[in-house]
Structure formats: structure tokens, C-alpha cells
Amino acid sequence: MSRQRSWKWITVNMRKTLSLTLIGTVAGAGVIAICIGAAAGCGRAGDSSPSVSADTPPPAAVVQVRRTPLSNTLSIAGEFIPYQEVELHAKVAGYIRSISVDIGDRVHKGQVLAVLEIPELVAQLQEAGAGVRHSQEEITHAQNEVSRAEADHAALHAAATRLRQASEARPGLIAEQELDDATAKDRSSEAQVDAAKSALSASRQQLEVSQADQQHYAALSEYSRITAPFDGVVTWRYADTGSLIQAGTSNISSLPVVKLSQVNVLRLRIPVPESLAASVRDGEPAEIHVKATDKRFTGKVMRSTDSLDRSTRTMQVEVDVPNKDYKLTPGMYADVSLRVQNDPNALTLPLQAISRGADKTTVLLVNSQDHVEEREIRTGIEGSDRIQVLSGLNEGDRVIVGNLSKYRPGQHVDPKLSTMADEKYVAEQGAQ
């Protein structure tokens, strides 16, 4: 019995194990089938995604080519210099009798700054005056000689005429010798009248010479007073009372009396680089900031050299700056913003819309069919964020802005007008 029970127990257990094995196998197959079905479904979903991407064009941010004011600004440092500056020399040599100014004094045009002592010039002026008076006396004497010669000529001419008439009325009454003597005296007196008139003319010419000498020494005498040629400030004084001043026209290196500068108006001199020299025009506005006084004001270009300095390759440009309160001094520096290029109606694009190559500049144009075209353009004025288009585009054309490497010519895109670009354009127009 024990043996039979054992075999029965073994048989029952084997049946249970086989059943569990079969159940596990069926469950596993179901799981595998579910996974395969899921994988098949996932595969179908993945296959549908590329089809949607190919049919939908990628978006592209675009801006329109617009007309806006555009300028190029040059920021550079300039130096203030006097509007006029001169060292005043003496025209004639002499000792300084008095000097009435010192450094820092403000003077007016025509004001006497110093007076020279020149004794020999006084004597020369007196001599010239005496020469004029002598010439005047000579003229009076010559005039009297002319009157006497004319009277003698009139008497002799009348006598000769009467003798000639009497001889014609009664031939043989007057001897021929007497007639010849009367005619000779008449002609001689006429020549004396001409000589007296010539002497009178020479005396008058001598008077002119004497008067010229007098004017010469009188002018030199005026140079003994050193006067201010314009309103200004005495910036240096070279001589004192009693100093011997040489004539400024001599070959000797003469010492000036004072240096005078006009500072109620200053010149702001600006070195413009060679690349921008041709763009600077008279009348262009300039924004000026003086750091020393923290003063800001606006000026305009008044003049330029129209030539380059060969050592620095720059062109000197000047802005006149009023300085009535004398708060600006020569030698100060100022930061100048100079508009060197300007077009109030330029065809422009943002700088982010262009691509620069080795020999050309291009943009990606979106045509009316929303396809990308590569278009070569020629540019002009370049501002801080926009650039002028001279050729290659028309107003209203759409071009891609930013991330240009994502797009290629011929590609179909979905253009989206850049809101940021439009807002900036509206702001620029409002500021104008």
C-alpha cells in the first residue's frame, strides 16, 4: 500500500507542475504578442511623423526692406585752439617807454599795449616835415618865375608884332635886322615860359616826394605804439619797461612784446581719418562733450583743410565754438560725434539680415511663392544696427533675418514677419 500511495503522490505532483508550466508558457506568449503588437503600432506612429515634417515648410523670420533715415557717426577726440593767436612785434627798433598789460589781461581791438621810445625817428619825422615845407616854397618861387616869364614874353611878343605890322604897312621903314632881333627875343621869351613851367612841375613833384617821406616816417612813428589787432587775452609777456626791442623786419631774431589770443570763439580741431575724409562736408552737425567741464553742446563743421597730413593720414576739420563766458580754454580736449555720412531716405536692412563673403554681400530673399533666393546686394552707409542697400533689392522685399545658415536657396519656408523689427521701425519713425 505504501508503494502505491507513493506512486500516486508522485503522479499528482507531476500533473500540477506540468499544468503550471503550460499556464506560464501561455502567459508569456501573450505578453510577447502584446509587445510585438505595441512595437508594430509604435513603428506605424514613427513612420507617419516624417510625412508630416516633409509636408509642412519650416518657419522663417523675415523683415521688409524699408526706407529710413540712416547716418554714420564718427566718434573722435578734438582739441580746442584759439580762433586767432599772434605774437606782436615792433615794426621799428626802440626802447619800451611803457607797457600797460600783463598775462591774463583781456584787451580790445585798437587798445595800446606798449609804447616805444625812438628819438632818431622823431628827428627823421621833423626832417621830412622840413622837406615838405621847402618844396612848397620852391613851388611858390617857380610859380612866380612862370608869371615873370609870361609877362616878358607878352611884352616882347607885342613889340615884335607891332614892328612886323609897321614893316608890312610901309615896306622899308623898319630895318630887317631890327625885325629879326624882335622875332628872336619873342621866341626866346616863349622858351623861358616853357622852362619856368617845367621848373614849376619839377617843384611840385619834389613836394610829392617830400610828402611821401613825411608819410613814411609818420607811419613808422605810429608803429612806436603797439596796439591790439583784435579782442583777446594776453597769454604771454616777453618784455618790460626799458627793454630794447629789435625791429621785427630785421634779420636778427627779434623778441616779441606780447602774445595775444582770441578766445571768445575757439576752434575745435578734429583729425578725421583718411577713410572718412571724403564724407565730411561743411555744415554737418557735431555733438560735443567737454569732459573737463561736463558740458554738452552742438556745433557744425565750418571748414576743413581738404588735404591729408602725410604723417598721420588725417584731414583737419574745424568746428567754431562760442566761448563768451570764457569757461573753455585752449588746450582742452572734447569728445566729438561727427555725422560723416547721412541719407534721410535710405533703403535699409538690419545688419542681421546680410551675409558678408570674401568678395560679395548677400541676403536670403523670400519670393512671392515663399521660396528662398540668394540675392547679391551692394551696400552703402552702415549704422549701428542697419545698413543701406544701394542695389539688389526693392522697397517691400522680404528677407530672412537671423540664423541664415538654416536655410538654403530654393527651400520652401513659412515667412513670419519679425515683430521686433516692426516695433523698432515704428519707434524709429516716431522719433523722426
Nearest residue to 80 (alpha-carbon basis) of 420, 275, 336, 312: 336
One-letter identity of residue 37 = G
Q: What is the pLDDT of residues 189-217, one digit of tens each?
A: 889 999 999 999 999 999 999 999 999 88
At 12-35, the pLDDT tens digits run 444 444 343 333 433 343 433 333
User: Strand 59-64 to strand 398-400: parallel, antiparallel, or no bridges (unpaired)?
Assistant: antiparallel
* Mean pLDDT on 298-326: 92
Q: What is the average per-residue pLDDT within 69-79?
A: 88
CA-angle at 256, arms to 252 and 262, nearest 5°: 145
Q: Contact 362/27 with Cβ under 8 angstroms?
A: no
pLDDT the model gives residue 260: 96
Mean pLDDT of 297-310: 91
Beta bridge partners of 227: 112
| Grid coordinates given for 263 | 578766445
Query: Cβ atoms within 10 A of the Cβ of 192, count?
Result: 18
Nearest by Cα to 324 from 270, 266, 285: 266
Q: Which option is the CATH number for 60-68+343-431: 2.40.50.100, 3.30.700.30, 3.30.70.100, 2.40.420.20? A: 2.40.420.20
Measured distance CA(67)–CA(263) in Å, rounded: 44
Res 202: pLDDT: 93
Work out the percent of the chain whose per-residue pLDDT is above 70. 83
Q: Which pLDDT does position 428 carry in this prediction? A: 46
pLDDT tier, 65 (very low <50, low <70, confident <90, very high otherwise): very high
Per DSSP, the chain holds a count of helices (H) and strands (E) of 5, 19
Pull the grid cell for residue 377: 546686394
Instruction: Tell me if 60-68+343-431 shares its fold with 77-84+261-342.
Output: no
Q: Which tens digit of pLDDT belongs to each residue from 334-354?
A: 999 988 777 889 999 999 999
Per-residue pLDDT of 242-260, as tens digits, reads 998 888 776 567 789 999 9
Share of the chain above pLDDT 90, in %: 51
Please state, in angstroms and rounded to a whole number, the distance separating the CA atoms of residues 432 and 419: 20
CATH superfamily, with its number, for domain 77-84+261-342: Efflux pump adaptor protein, beta barrel domain (2.40.30.170)
- Residue 427 is inside which H or E element, if any? helix 419-431
Contacts of residue 276, defined as CB under 8 A and 6 or more positions apart, other chains included, come to 72, 74, 340, 341
Centre a 10 Å sphere on the Cβ of residue 109 and count the other Cβ atoms it contains: 11
92 in helix, strand or coil?
coil
C-alpha cell at 11: 503522479
Phi (first) and psi of residue 172, to 5 degrees = 90, -10
* pLDDT, mean of residues 395-407: 91
Contact 269, 89 (CB under 8 A): no
Query: What amino acid occupies position 236?
Result: W
Cell numbers standing for residue 156: 616882347
What are the residue ranges spanned by the domains of the chain? 60-68+343-431, 77-84+261-342, 90-109+228-256, 119-223
